[in-house]
């Protein structure tokens, strides 16, 4: 809802003559909280109801966390705009400890992400990982009741909801490589709605669009899903704004198998961003990445 209100405010600022209304919806991903996403259909569960509202012309656009959008967008739909990106990092939240490395052996860490779980297990095999579902208030309440020593959440969500004070520290990109599109917002529309593409153009962040397109291409090429711990992150070099570095990580949930790849290229177009994603995906595949993905997706 915060995301929808944010986009509403942006659009009304650009088009003051336009009245933008919000159609609040609850998705299956919001409703099923006692099972892991990887077991009930993946992150696509957060967008299906919204897509049905677009098809039924109840809504003109749907706002998503880009990391929740499947890499293959269904026929008839399109990504109309990618907005400026919030913090892409994972956040360490605890009432007792300041950093992940301070947790003692056997301490329980909560996360809903196989990607985070695999990297934590690899770097901190002495910790115990337990599933954590629910909205932010629910997850924080479980931490406050002592069910977990710490929980790992997306920094972007905490910041957007005014809960940055709960963040004890940030996990570095090297410690926990983010998910493709993490921190970015995407607006989905019907592909046939050509005027809406033009209407949304002022919201588009071109640099973020190129970066997340490269990220998503890695996952798309490998057929990644919620069942596969895959992390992909692209960042622009500070000393050369045209150079985009793309890093990817593929693992099994236990963190015992972990494959990494990276490449840096000069990127000025969407086609070049997609090629960069393909290069990094092919590096993972050459190291046995496709076999690992296939084994986890059975």
Is residue 51 within 8 A of residue 63, CB to CB? The reply is no
- What are the domain boundaries of the chain? 1-84+184-204, 90-170, 206-298
> E-strand spans in the chain?
62-65, 77-82, 90-93, 108-111, 128-131, 150-154, 169-170, 185-190, 230-237, 240-251, 258-266
Q: Given this model, what pLDDT does residue 68 score?
A: 86
CATH 3.40.50.10680 fits 206-298, yes or no: no
Q: In whole angstroms, what separates CA 13 from the centre of its chain? A: 27
* Calpha distance 231→182 (Å, rounded): 10
Cβ neighbours around 10 below 10 Å, total: 18
Fold matches, 1-84+184-204 and 206-298 = no
Q: What is the mean pLDDT of each run of 10 residues along the chain (298 residues)?
A: 94 94 72 48 66 93 92 93 96 97 97 93 95 91 97 96 96 95 96 95 97 96 79 90 95 90 97 98 95 83
The domain over range 90-170 is classified in CATH as 2.102.10.10: no
Per-residue pLDDT at 33 = 47
Predicted confidence at residue 40, as pLDDT, reads 43
Q: Is 185 exposed, middle or buried (0-12, 13-18, 19+ CB in 10 A)?
A: buried
Tokens of 184: 């970015």
Known catalytic residues? 68
- Judge if pTM exceeds 0.85: yes
Region of 172 please: left (phi>0), alpha (psi -120 to 50) or beta. Answer: beta
For the domain covering 1-84+184-204, report its CATH number.
3.40.190.10
Q: Please report the sign of the dihedral spanned by the C-alpha atoms of residue 97, residue 99, residue 105, residue 110.
A: positive
């Amino acid at each position: 809802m915060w995301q929808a209100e944010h986009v509403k405010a942006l659009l009304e600022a650009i088009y003051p003559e336009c009245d933008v209304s919000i159609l609040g919806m609850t998705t299956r991903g919001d409703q099923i909280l006692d099972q892991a996403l990887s077991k009930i259909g993946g992150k696509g569960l957060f967008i299906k109801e919204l897509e049905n509202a677009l098809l039924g012309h109840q809504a003109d656009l749907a706002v998503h966390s880009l990391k929740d959008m499947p890499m293959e967008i269904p026929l008839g739909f399109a990504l109309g705009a990618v907005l400026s990106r919030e913090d892409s990092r994972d956040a360490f939240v605890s009432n007792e400890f300041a950093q992940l490395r301070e947790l003692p052996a056997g301490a329980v860490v909560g996360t809903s992400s196989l990607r985070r779980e695999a990297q934590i297990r690899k770097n901190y095999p002495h910790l115990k990982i337990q599933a954590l579902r629910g909205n932010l208030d629910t997850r924080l309440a479980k931490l406050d009741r002592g069910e977990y020593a710490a929980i790992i959440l997306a920094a972007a969500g905490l910041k957007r909801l005014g809960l940055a004070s709960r963040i004890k520290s940030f996990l570095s990109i090297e410690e926990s490589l983010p998910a493709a599109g993490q921190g970015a917002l995407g607006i989905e529309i019907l592909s046939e709605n050509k005027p809406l593409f033009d209407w949304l153009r002022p919201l588009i962040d071109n640099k973020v669009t190129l970066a997340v397109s490269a990220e998503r291409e890695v996952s798309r090429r490998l057929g990644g899903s919620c069942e596969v711990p895959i992390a992909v992150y692209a960042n622009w070099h500070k000393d050369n704004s045209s150079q985009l570095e793309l890093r990817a990580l593929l693992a099994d949930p236990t963190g015992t198998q972990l494959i990494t790849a990276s490449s840096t290229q000069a990127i000025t177009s969407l086609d070049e961003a997609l090629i960069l994603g393909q290069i990094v995906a092919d590096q993972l595949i050459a190291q046995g990445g496709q076999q690992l993905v296939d084994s986890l997706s059975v």
